[in-house]
Amino acid sequence: MTCIECGDELVSERAELGYQYCTKKRCQAKHHRGLAITAIGVNKSADTFIVGAQEEIRKRAEAGEFGKKDSGLGIGYRSPQAAAEVPSGSSGSVSRKIPARRPWTREQEKVVRLYNGMGLTPRQIVERARENTPKLGITESLVTKIMCSPPAR
């Protein structure tokens, strides 16, 4: 077998691997097709990098391998019946979800989130709040509840 670029004889090992060109710089520059490095964006995580031929990566993407996966935990987390059910109502209006009332004030949440941002533990937050804002009545239980909830808008 000969090189398709320069016509020199190919090493039998390269021919067995399916190459049609030799290892000379000008032949490599014209015909070499390296592997593609593709970054796959992942939610709340660093990108995943995949090294492979472009055609292989394209086929895997078309097959849905890189798509979002349902990571629901538990049996019956999303049953087919629940997805098919439509809430019935006498009026065709869309109901708005009313946010649950929080058992703390905005001032309490502001102080707790401020001290937490400083790196204090719940116990340290309570001690600091008793010194600086005793009227707010911040307890360790309240600090834990506030920190486990999403911030108020």
Task: Profile the chain (153 residues) by mean pLDDT over runs of 10 residues.
Answer: 90 88 88 75 75 78 72 54 54 60 87 90 92 90 89 77
The last residue of a domain, from among 12, 43, 65: 65
**Model pLDDT, residue 50:** 79
Domain that holds residue 42: 33-65
Residue 8 in domain: yes
Residue 19 located in a structural domain: yes
On whether both 6 and 27 belong to a single domain, the answer is yes
Q: Is residue 101 part of a domain?
A: no
Distances (CA, A) of 62 to 38, 39, 59, 65, 66: 14, 16, 5, 8, 9
Q: What is the pLDDT of residue 32?
A: 77
- Strand boundaries in 3-129, DSSP class E: 36-40, 48-52
Q: Which two tokens stand for residue 62?
A: 């078309």
- The structural domain count of the chain equals 3
Q: Does residue 80 belong to any structural domain of this protein?
A: no
| Structural domain contains residue 77 | no
